[in-house]
Amino acid sequence: MGFVVAIDGPAASGKGTLAARLGAALGLPVLDSGLLYRAVGAAVMRSGGNLDDAATCEAAAMALDLDGLSEPDLRSPTMGEAASRVAIHPSVRAALVHIQRAFAAREPGAVLDGRDIGTVIVKNAQAKLYVTASPEARAMRRWREASGRGEPASYEDVLADILRRDQRDEGRAVAPLKPAADAVLLDTTDLSIDAAFDAARRIVEAARARAGAA
């Protein structure tokens, strides 16, 4: 396994943006594992299936085509909610584990972001970050994004959705959202994206130096 960066954290914490920028800086491929769950949710919804039915969601996960991860609709709030619902099914998580681990095993390495990368998927990742921010800050980011796209949404509704997803992600029985014991906490509440990236880059560079010395 090459040099792997595992980035975990709740919705709208900034982990996806940081993963993309770190991947570009390091010259490593990036996998947004949340897109896997969004794609599963999208497949279930397109087929008219029930997002709360484990067997239906597992079948969609087993048939997942990675070529479809670039669909713009997967980034929508609706698909974010669908992803959170299908992710509670242990069989879905099990079906997607091998895809993520195969990606992480690439040479010369990879950057993966999600909610259980450092705790389950790649426990031996050389660099682990847990990116977080206050629910209010995360809700404001999502509300501004939605407003920028011309989508009608109230800040209060977005905040309620953030809190609901946090509760679901942190409370699920399998692979709940939590920091890995050896992850470095990065709170982006009061940071610009450039400041957050600079902090993340320093964390990763320190981990690379340690890995090189090992």
Torsion of CA 13, 148, 76, 82, to 10 degrees: 60
What confidence tens digit (pLDDT) does each residue in 141-171 have?
Answer: 999 988 988 888 899 999 999 999 999 999 9
Q: 72 falls in which pLDDT band (50, 70, 90)?
A: confident
What confidence tens digit (pLDDT) does each residue in 168-192 have?
Answer: 999 988 889 999 999 999 999 999 9
pLDDT given for residue 40 in this prediction: 97
3-state secondary structure the chain: CCEEEEEECCCCCCHHHHHHHHHHHHCCCEEEHHHHHHHHHHHHHHCCCCCCCHHHHHHHHHCCCHHHHHCHHHHCHHHHHHHHHHCCCHHHHHHHHHHHHHHHCCCCEEEEEECCHHHHHCCCCCEEEEEECCHHHHHHHHHHHHHHCCCCCCHHHHHHHHHHHHHHHHHCCCCCCCCCCCCEEEECCCCCHHHHHHHHHHHHHHHHHHHHHC
30-32 and 184-187 beta bridge pairing: unpaired
pLDDT given for residue 67 in this prediction: 82
pLDDT given for residue 38 in this prediction: 94
Residues 6+ apart with CB under 8 A from 161: 77, 81, 139, 142
Whether this prediction's pTM lies above 0.85 is answered by yes
Which CATH homologous superfamily contains domain 3-213? P-loop containing nucleotide triphosphate hydrolases (3.40.50.300)
pLDDT given for residue 66 in this prediction: 82
Q: CA dist 171 to 121, 138, 165, 177, Å?
A: 18, 19, 10, 8
pLDDT given for residue 213 in this prediction: 57
pLDDT given for residue 75 in this prediction: 85
Domain ranges for the chain: 3-213
Q: How far is Cα 127 from Cα 23, in angstroms, rounded to an integer?
A: 13
Please give the structure tokens belonging to residue 124: 């031996």
| % of the chain surpassing 90 pLDDT | 81
